[in-house]
Amino acid sequence: MSGQVMPCGPQEIASLFLFEKLTPEQLGQLCREGRVERFEPGPVYTEGDPATCFFVMIEGTVVLSRRVGGDDVEVSRTSQRGVYAGAMQAYLGDRVPQTYTNSMRVTEPTRFFVLPAESFACVMQEWFPMAAHLLEGLFFGAKDSQRVIGQRERLLALGSLSAGLTHELNNPAAAAVRATASLRERVGKMRHKLAVIARGPYSREALAELIEIQERTAERVAKAPVLSPLEASDREDQLTDWLDDHGIQEGWRIAPVFVQAGLDTDWLEQIAATVAEDILPGAIGWLNYTVETELLMDEINDSTARISHLVDAAKQYSQLDRAPYRVVDVHELLDSTLLMLSGKIGPRVRVVKDYDRSVPDVPAYPAELNQVWTNLIDNAVSAIRSGGGDGDGTLTVRTAREGDRLLVEFRDTGPGVPADIRSRIFDPFFTTKPIGEGTGLGLDISWRIVVNKHHGSLQVESEPGDTRFQVLLPLTAEESATTTTEEPV
C-alpha cells in the first residue's frame, strides 16, 4: 500500500531520535533519498513480501503483527514518535532473505519517513561501518548460537531417549536369551525321552498315536486361553490331582505348564483313552516337553517381535529413512514417541490416548514434530512427579480437528503452571526444573518448530490438576510448506 507523498523537512527528521546526532549534510541526504508519506488507516506492508523500505514513524499509531497459522497475531502497538520497522536487515544484503518479517498497519492517519532499502543499506555501511560490523556479528552470532543450542537440546533429548530405549530393549532381549537357553535344555530332554520311547515296547500304532497327540497338543498351545489367577490356581489343583491319581510322578511340577498351555482334565482324559495304560506316563512326559518347547518358542517369538517393534518405533521417531517434509499420520508419530519415552514415563504415570482417527494426515516435518512431542511429554511427566505424593498421575494425549487445523493436546494432572510465570515459559533458558535437569530451551524450540516452521500455534491452558499444552497444525500444505527461518525483530 502506498501513501500520500509529502515534503521532507530536515528539521523535522532531526527531531526523531534515530537521526538527532546527524549533521545537516546527512539530514539533507536522507531527505533527498527518502520521502515522507502519509498513510490512511489500513495495511502498510505484509509479512513475507519483499522488504523494499525502512519506515520511521513521525506521528500516528502503528500496529505490528506476526502470522501464526491462519491468523495475524498482534505483537506491538505504539504511538511513540521515532519507532521504526521494515527493511531493518537490508545492510546484510543477499546473505539473508530480504522480506518483511512482520506485517504493519496504522489505525489512524500516520506519517512516516520512508527510506528505500538500498539507501538504508548504504547509510549503514558508509556512515556507521563499525556499527554495521557489530550488528552483523550479533545477527549471525545469534543465529549460530541458536543453531548450536538447538543441536544441544536435541542431543540431550537423544541421550534420554537412548537410555530409555536401551532399557526397553534389554527386557525382551534378556527374555529371549533365557528362553533360548531353556529351549536348548528341553529339546535335549525331548531327544532323550524320544530315545527311551523308541527302545520301549511300543508298537508302530502306539508311536503314531503319540505323534498325533503331540501335534494336537501343539495346536492347543497356540490357542491357549488367558485365565485369571484364581482360575489358573483351581485348574492346577485339578490337574495335579488327576496326574497323581494316574500315577504320574511330579504332577505338581507338570500341572502349571499344562495350565499355561490351555490343557485341562478333559484333554488328559482324551489322551488316557487313546493310549494304553502302560504308555500313559511316558506320553505325559513326552507331552510335557512338547508343551514346554512350544511355550518357550512363543516367548522367543514375542521377545523378538517386541525388539522389532521397538526398532521400528525408533526408525519412526528418528525418521532416518524418510523425507524431511511429507504428509504424515500424526498418530504414528505420537505412538512412536510415547513408546520411545515409555521407560522415562514409568509405570506410575497412566497414559491415555484419546485419538480422533478420522482426522486427515497433515503436511509436516515429522522428525521435528517428534521433538515437540518429546519436549511436551517430558514436561508433563516432570510436572506430575513434582506434584508430591507418590508421583502418580495421568497424561492424556488427544487429537481432534478444529476447523482447518489439527489439534494435538497434551494434558497432565500435575500442579499446573503458576499464573505469574505463564507468560515466560516459552522464553529461552527459562525453566522451573531443578538445576541440571532442564535447559530451559525445550518449549522455546517447540514454539519455533510449531509456529515458524509449520505456521501453527502452541499455547497453554493451566490450573492445578489440569494443564493442557495445545498444538494446532494446518491441514493443508499451503500454510506449512514455506519454512520461515527469520525471527521477529
pTM over 0.75: no
* Percent of the chain at pLDDT exceeding 90: 13
pLDDT at 434: 47
| Lowest model confidence (mean pLDDT) among 151-155, 322-326, 390-394, 429-433 | 429-433
Q: How far apart are CA 447 and CA 457, in angstroms?
A: 8
Grid cell listed for 274: 487313546
Say which residues have a Cβ less than 8 Å from residue 105's Cβ, sequence separation at least 6.
Answer: 41, 42, 43, 44, 62, 63, 65
pLDDT at 411: 93
Per-residue confidence band for 400, with pLDDT thresholds at 50, 70 and 90? very high
Higher-pLDDT residue of 55 and 186 is: 55
What pLDDT, in 10s, does the model give residues 125-163? Answer: 777 667 666 666 665 565 665 565 555 555 555 555 665
Domains (ranges, CATH) in the chain? 4-127 (2.60.120.10), 161-309 (no CATH), 326-480 (3.30.565.10)
What is the overall mean pLDDT for the chain?
78
Q: What is the crossing angle of helices 280-318 and 129-199, to 10°? A: 170
Q: Which residues make beta-bridge pairs with 466? A: 463
Q: Which residues make beta-bridge pairs with 86? A: 54
Q: Is the pLDDT of residue 385 over 50?
A: yes
Alpha-carbon distance values, 217 to 84, 169, 170, 271, 275 (Å): 84, 32, 32, 10, 14
